[in-house]
Structure 1
Amino acid sequence: MQRKEVADELKRARRALDGGIKEVKILEDWQWNQRLEKWFIKINITIDTQGKIPANSIWYVVVDDIYPKGIVKIYPDINGCYLTFEHQSNNGDIEKNGLWRKGSPCLDSPLKCLAKYDYDPEPINSDERLFWNVKRLIKWIRAANNNKLINNGDPFELPEFKIDSTKFCVFSENELSFMRWESVNNKFGIVKLALATYNSNPSIYFIKKFTTCNGEIIPVNWGKYLSQNFKSPITAIWIILNEIPVVNERQAPNTLGELFKACKKQGIDLLNIIEKIVENIRKEKEHILLLGFPIPKTVGDKNSVIYWQAIKLPTLSQRKHTARGYRHGKDGRWRRDVNEILLPKKKCHWFKSQNWNMDEINNRGQLIMDITTKKVLIIGSGTLGASVAELLVRSGVTNISIMDNDEIEIGNLSRHPLGLMQIGKSKSEEMSFFLNQINPHADVKHIKDEFKLSDKITEQLENFDLIIDCTSEDIVLDDLEQINFSKEKIFVSISIGYKGEKLFLFLQKGKKFKKDNFMAKIFPWLEKEKDKFSNEVLPRDGTGCWSSVFPARYDDILIASSTSIKVIENFIENNNKELISIYEQYSSEGIFVGYKKIE
């Protein structure tokens, strides 16, 4: 233990704690751990509730050298409570100094994500921060002993699986697929994993399909990008358990022995199941096991989704490797696996696993289902069409087609999501590729055609529910008006004025598009726009033959496209028939405020 001067901030924190909380007694003053580069202080906590945590328990408070900044964590003494509870990290591991276990309770307020709106935010000054954390620990201990760490209706949380791999494993499960799994009689088999070919660190495996031991195939539905055939898919083993595998109350297994024990508690002989299908994975470079188990969305609810937790097994016996005294063959290989490889003391190498189902990845915010389930056509993938398409895909719309026959030019890039690598390539094709990589469930197609009235175009348009014109070309609206559709559509026209200062929106629902009302409303404003054009020098598109371009910055485009998405959502949600809206940017006392509706 290297000597280090105790900072004044730590001394003040200790004085605030000493005698400030009746349940707390300081056993050892601040000490510096050079290896961890942390300060720690040893305390005893005495509470009036007896339970799984003793009435007298010893804890270590660990802080960074920059206290009151940095981390503040509290860990149980190595000889104290070895159990893991809700809102606690995995308590099965011991710190290298041999003093405490690594199961730090979660003392953050449940509203910490709301920052300053938290009803009891963690203080950041020297005198209060340590005091606050120890007070929270006492509350946590009492709640643990009274079985009140979680309540019905709380969001469900998984125990901490100690991640020991640089790889991800992703899956797609929801309530619908949960019902499908309930009807599957065979609860184990092989699974195909694909390694995504895009450059990513860590690498990402995603589940392509499951096959049961009797040959039943259970596909996994992904969008266009992840549905392609990736090279060299990996075969792994899958097993569905009855519940989350845990030991010591709520600790995820840290060793294979703990994993076998956790499965045995559920009446599942994990080694016996692996033996039945292990020959399917021996040739793989990595031997991976996927453990599925049912979980609810909230505490107290019924189970409603299968969660897949991946683990990398030790490298199993290859073709000629057999246990001593056994002939070459599967029995000899398996006996070697059991005796020499799958040993109880071996560490669990868990992958980070994530559910990439649409319900999960869009839970931060998505459009209403009446939009996300529609087939959408966007005519024009210029700056406005591209930004509208991107906002739709990021908000949960997955079935989109983009129609445009132009190519990307360098001048487009100042206000377009595509980049230098796409110059000279098709706008619609490159945008569809870009959008399919944004959302793993996106199925964005490109139509490399100019919108012109024809039987082919009419037939194509019949397949869509929502048609959005972003070309700002009158001829497109003229041609749309000529088509009699067999079923009702929602038509949207989006265009912007000079420098993006105005936004013109026209939305209509019906079997036939009619533009007369819109043109009558918009005409006076367009005349005013022409006056502005005539008095301004427009920017040029390169040298040589003079060619003007429409002036508007990308931030103006994003404001216009964002507003358009909100208006479209309101229109569909309210089941409107027709809407004409004109917006204008405005400022107050020289400060930009936003759009205001002027018509």
Structure 2
Amino acid sequence: MEAVNGVELLHDFRWDPLFNKWVLFAALTVDTDPHGRIPVQTKWYIHVDNSYPQGEIEFFPATDDGISLTFPHQNYNGDTETDRPWRKGKICLDPVIRVFGRTGYDFGPHDEENRLVWHFERAKAWILAASRDSLQSNGDPFELPQFRTDASSIIAFSESPTTFDKWNESSYTYGLVEFVRIKDDPKIFVTKSFKTLGGREVYKPKWGKAFSVENANTRGLWIKLNAVPVIDPWQAPMSWHELCQVCNSQGIDLMEIIKNAARLFRDGRPHYVLLGFPIPEKVGELPCIRFWQAFQLPVLSSGNRVPNGFRKGEKGYWYRDRTQILRGSETITWIHSENWHRNEIFNRGKLPPGITNTSILQIGVGALGSVVAEQLVRADVQNLTLMDGDKLHIGNLTRHTLGLLDLKDNKAEAVAKRLNQSVPHSNVNSISGYLPCDSAELLNQYQVILDCTGEDDVLFKLEKTTWKKPKTFISASLGFAAKRLFIYCQKGDEFSTAAFFRIMKPWLERERESYDIEEMPREGIGCWHPVFPARIDDIWMMSGIVIKSIEKFIQSPPKKPTLLVYEQKWQNGFFHGVELVYQEDENE
């Protein structure tokens, strides 16, 4: 390593049994400004996994002659490790593309000879950039400073550019926030409503059914800040003194706000404070989101807890709060905070807006239908209603998304409940019955009618239903053992079974041959009752094709009734994929 320019080894690798790492001590010399915040030479402790050249390589500043400030792309650096000569401010050296988790996309070498050298070069580059205040460049994704948080709790909020504008228009700067507690271990709280101290609603986040039916059961304090609460260069405040200083620099008297609200929190329990500040999506851009960073408000004075010389009351309580509980030297307990707005949750992948905003009535929530519904909701479809009159039986569990606790429950209701608990913004409705529905008006409100039953009777009932406006009708069904998938679509103000059966006829004849050859499985002992044979992997594979077909047909509805036939392909005993083997319009 000493052959690397600017690296001086101060002691060789030593095994640390507490951290289960090899530790190397080195001095790095970088051409920084000698009068700047980082000296030319700094000392570092390097932790290397025992599995080297695999595993992590981490750089920590030495307690003596290391850096003491906290910079961007660095953990909080104000603390030292107990009984160890280094600080906790590990610097980030991984390439940004590393987040994809594929070593093939990692720029760094992985051989024994070069990997450690590469990390030393990265560390030197980090030090130089930190000394020049260039760790954050315009166009880089914006990153918050590390708020060293309590992992036992999570606060979730919902903010977007639209709500950012609404907050900017509001003249209120602090008030009460109400939470719904959705989990106990860890404790997860979701913001239900932001109000003034007097109870006037300022902002109500839009959530799905899972949260909307819950009553608020916890409340806290919200405070608007003008900027990220940070100590130069990029350290989150860690004490009440530091936090008050940061707020004062923005013209905000934190203690005065807490004093005004304290009477509402004297119940012998800790509460949460949300600090809301504007952040951009990328460095150098204008702010577009209000991020709410939570911290814990300690148990405030109440009852007989007053200092000597004071009577019970707000004056005595606040004196004790200010001098004992909220002293400047006391540490702030930050709480892990997350933005659960749909823009954030679905940025990993979702259907286009023209699909997600389409109202869909899905008939049939069986083996295929339950998976299709799951994929639609997790792809951000926002207006989905499930219709099915069947109940869940034990045999369904081999291919259904529901479980044991749902046995004998209506499939539509149980799947809707499950999906509403799967994504914070889900609004899935259910109809526990069959066609024809009692209310024709109910059926007519949907733009897409999606049939996943595979039953002819449903198609005849669709034909008899009076549709006031043109609909996109889509019918998805599986062939024998799910080796084929049939997707039929037609657009209009009526459904034609004649067109469906004309275009499907040759394929139905092929399917009958498969049923004649193969022995059908039975369900239970007694009167022989055959069940549809298909493995779960085949059904789930075909369901993805259904989603892509739905997307295509909603975006570009066919002018004539259209049938797509997909078929599994095998060669020499190996699966080769699913192929579109037939695509044809019905000629009337």
TM-score, normalization by structure 2: 0.94
Report the alpha carbon displacement of residue 74 of structure 1 after superposing the two structures with TM: 0.5
Give the aligned partner of residue 141 of structure 2.
Answer: 155
Give the aligned partner of residue 9 of structure 1.
Answer: none
The change in CA–CA distance for 1:61 and 1:293 in structure 2 (over 3 A counts) is same
Give the aligned partner of residue 82 of structure 1.
Answer: 68
Post-superposition Cα deviations, 1:330-385, rounded to whole Å, max 9, x if no partner, equal: 11111100000011222221111111111111111001111111222110111111
Give the aligned partner of residue 18 of structure 1.
Answer: 2
In the aligned structure 2, how far is the partner of 1:284 from the partner of 1:378? 50
Give the aligned partner of residue 10 of structure 1.
Answer: none
Give the aligned partner of residue 166 of structure 1.
Answer: 152
CA contact (8 A) 2:268 2:299 kept: no
Percentage of matched positions with identical amino acids = 39
Among candidates 397, 406, 414, match of residue 430 of structure 1: 414
Q: Confirm or deny that 1:492 pairs with 2:474.
A: yes
Report the alpha carbon displacement of residue 128 of structure 1 after superposing the two structures with TM: 2.4
Partner amino acid, structure 2, of 1:143: A
Report the alpha carbon displacement of residue 531 of structure 1 after superposing the two structures with TM: 1.3
Give the aligned partner of residue 455 of structure 2.
Answer: 473
Q: Which moved more, 1:277-286 or 1:540-549?
A: 277-286
CA contact (8 A) 2:268 2:300 kept: no
Partner amino acid, structure 1, of 2:207: W
In the aligned structure 1, how far is the partner of 2:522 from the partner of 2:295? 58
* Residue aligned with 1:196, SS: strand
CA contact (8 A) 2:482 2:535 kept: yes
Report the alpha carbon displacement of residue 39 of structure 1 after superposing the two structures with TM: 2.9
Unaligned 5+ residue runs, structure 2? 583-588
Partner amino acid, structure 1, of 2:87: R
Give the aligned partner of residue 535 of structure 2.
Answer: 553
Partner amino acid, structure 2, of 1:30: F
Partner amino acid, structure 2, of 1:106: C
Partner amino acid, structure 1, of 2:107: D
Unaligned 5+ residue runs, structure 1? 1-16
Partner amino acid, structure 1, of 2:260: K
Partner amino acid, structure 2, of 1:596: E
Report the alpha carbon displacement of residue 567 of structure 1 after superposing the two structures with TM: 1.2
Q: Confirm or deny that 1:353 pairs with 2:340.
A: no
In the aligned structure 2, how far is the partner of 1:109 from the partner of 1:512? 56
Q: Which moved more, 1:93-102 or 1:508-517?
A: 508-517
In the aligned structure 2, how far is the partner of 1:561 from the partner of 1:598? 17
Post-superposition Cα deviations, 1:479-508, rounded to whole Å, max 9, x if no partner, equal: 222334333322111111111011111122
Q: Confirm or deny that 1:520 pairs with 2:502.
A: yes
Report the alpha carbon displacement of residue 399 of structure 1 after superposing the two structures with TM: 2.1
Give the aligned partner of residue 118 of structure 1.
Answer: 105
Q: Confirm or deny that 1:290 pairs with 2:274.
A: yes
Q: Confirm or deny that 1:237 pairs with 2:221.
A: yes
Give the aligned partner of residue 420 of structure 1.
Answer: 404
Aligned length: 576
In the aligned structure 1, how far is the partner of 2:116 from the partner of 2:302? 54
The change in CA–CA distance for 1:265 and 1:428 in structure 2 (over 3 A counts) is same
Superposition pairs of residues 558-569 of structure 1, within 5 angstroms: 558-569=540-551
CA RMSD of aligned residues (A): 1.8
In the aligned structure 1, how far is the partner of 2:476 from the partner of 2:578? 15
Report the alpha carbon displacement of residue 574 of structure 1 after superposing the two structures with TM: 3.5
In the aligned structure 1, how far is the partner of 2:521 from the partner of 2:460? 29
Among candidates 88, 102, 105, match of residue 102 of structure 1: 88
Partner amino acid, structure 2, of 1:18: E
Give the aligned partner of residue 589 of structure 1.
Answer: 572
In the aligned structure 1, how far is the partner of 2:307 from the partner of 2:172? 30
Give the aligned partner of residue 529 of structure 1.
Answer: 511
Give the aligned partner of residue 12 of structure 1.
Answer: none
* Residue aligned with 2:142, SS: coil
Partner amino acid, structure 2, of 1:267: G
Q: Confirm or deny that 1:194 pairs with 2:180.
A: yes
CA contact (8 A) 1:91 1:104 kept: yes
Report the alpha carbon displacement of residue 471 of structure 1 after superposing the two structures with TM: 1.0
Report the alpha carbon displacement of residue 161 of structure 1 after superposing the two structures with TM: 0.8
Partner amino acid, structure 1, of 2:152: T
* Residue aligned with 1:127, SS: coil
Partner amino acid, structure 2, of 1:153: G
In the aligned structure 2, how far is the partner of 1:593 from the partner of 1:331? 77
CA contact (8 A) 1:451 1:457 kept: no
Q: Confirm or deny that 1:49 pairs with 2:32.
A: yes
CA contact (8 A) 1:63 1:71 kept: yes
Superposition pairs of residues 54-453 of structure 1, within 5 angstroms: 54-79=39-64, 80-114=66-100, 115-118=102-105, 120-123=107-110, 125-196=111-182, 201-213=185-197, 215-217=199-201, 218-230=203-215, 233-283=217-267, 285-452=269-436
CA contact (8 A) 1:112 1:121 kept: no
In the aligned structure 1, how far is the partner of 2:51 from the partner of 2:568? 47
Report the alpha carbon displacement of residue 393 of structure 1 after superposing the two structures with TM: 0.8
CA contact (8 A) 2:387 2:412 kept: yes
The change in CA–CA distance for 1:511 and 1:179 in structure 2 (over 3 A counts) is farther
In the aligned structure 1, how far is the partner of 2:49 from the partner of 2:241? 35
